[in-house]
Chain A
């Protein structure tokens, strides 16, 4: 740059702020900081209270008025949840396996689809894209009954694979959307070089693009996990055998658990806590990946 432009820039640099302006800025910084802390507290409070309630003794859990935090620590609620009917491990396994399968299906389907929609000159590309997003506007509750009968004839009811397919149906539009946007955001130079070297599109996808969209993969996986792990109605419709039930079904039973349909609050809290833990862990551990995945994938 010429000296003249540099000089002009110097002239237009903001001058040092006055004392009043500085004081005002530091006060608003403190205010902003305080608001941040308040927001964080409000966001965390319900979770902390719930976990605390799950650790209450049975008497304290049904006390009126309720106590904020538990006074004594007790695992009795977890004990009841653990031993409930087929046992908590069975339900955890079912929920986990279905979630895992749903993640796998979503990724296997949405990655190639995203790649195709982002890069390839497919005739009617936009139409296909909208078609894949179709499920977003349909209340999936109404689709469950036709799907159930289809699965009954395919012998897919009561299976983990069947339920995973239902979850994938719900989650696929969002996954395809994220994937397409992520692929579009990848600069094409890397692929150009690879093509010149004679790579096929499959090799390009596997070796170059997948690492580049790692963040989107994690995002899709996270949201597929959350949807599947917490899904209730599909599980209720698809599963008949107690041994195939998932965790949300048990939570729903906890609401009618004490004799003649009363709520076992302690067991409910324990169930809520156990439902929350994997989701939060998954999120915290992979935070740095999917945050950027979110940003590149969702915003263009």
Chain B
């Protein structure tokens, strides 16, 4: 009923506002970023053409590689935790009992508060002197003295941040998984039960395959989000120690704002965007192949 010539035009009209908006406020600044990346520009001094100089600089920049490596490490650690943890949690709460509904609701609350607020909250909890994590661990006898979470050991800081992010976003994946699990026809599971399949066999043979698309979606969102991580590291670790916990976007931010090296920051952004694009394409190809 929609397939008329006139509707082609009408459709374009409906689409136009959003497309125009993105053209003006995303695509145009993006093209300016491209221009910026080919120059050295500190705002207070006129821009200087450097061609691909900024890109070469990135290749030789040790901090660029450190940040990229750290960002990948963070992504590779966080994503499985969110996938597996979120899925297990979803299996736990997928039935519609009052307790489970309550758990679902409560687990989603951290998702709706801001990332900055959540980071500040955990920054406080992990503080050496004033934080309750240290107090809790000492009270339980797990550690003898308070630990310095941020600024001393890069891995310890990383895990503290991971804890805070898992707390914050677990509910998001959980909810999507619950939706997918509830979308499986009950007869399918019943038939499996009749066939004598155990709980875990049912999960493996039925639930997982039928919720595959959701799993991939959540993974994709999680990976992109981790590759673009910034706020939590800016607020909690400030990139310390020795800049080992500075993510790629953190390094972009430093160059674009305090250091006033906007050309370099723009080049770094474009490089990162390409990397993310590549990851996305890889993931989507894997999706299509396994589905076929």
A residues bordering B, Cβ < 8 Å?
12-14, 32-33, 35-37, 39-40, 42-44, 46-47, 49-50, 53, 62, 64-66, 68, 108-110, 112-113, 115-117, 119-123, 128, 131-132, 134-139, 141-147, 150, 165-166, 168-169, 172, 176, 188, 191-192, 195, 201, 222, 226, 229-233, 248, 251, 255, 265, 268-269, 272, 275-276, 279-280, 282-284, 287, 291, 294-295, 298-300
Contacts and interface: CB of A to CB of B under 8 A. Distances in A.
A265 B130 contact: yes
B115 A50 contact: no
Q: Interface of chain B, helix or strand or loop or mixed?
A: helix
Interface of B: 1-3, 7-8, 10-12, 14-15, 17-19, 21-22, 25-30, 32-33, 36, 43, 89, 92-93, 99-100, 102-103, 105-110, 112-117, 120-122, 124-125, 129-132, 134-135, 138, 146, 167, 171, 175-176, 179-180, 182-183, 193-194, 213-214, 217, 224, 228, 230-231, 248-249, 252-253, 256, 262, 265-266, 268-269, 272-273, 276-277, 280
Contacts of A145: 36, 43, 256, 262
A276 B117 contact: yes
B249 A40 contact: no
A123 B15 CA distance: 12
Given A122-B8, A131-B19, A268 B92 contact: no
Contacts, number: 247
A176 B15 CA distance: 10
B49 to A, nearest CB: 18
B224 A136 contact: yes
Given A120-B7, A150-B29, A39 B213 contact: no
Nearest to B120: A272
B107 A251 contact: no
Given A14-B193, A268-B124, A294-B175, A120 B11 contact: yes
Contacts of B93: 36
**Of A134, A145, A150, A275, which is in contact with the most chain B CB atoms at under 10 Å from its CB?**
A145
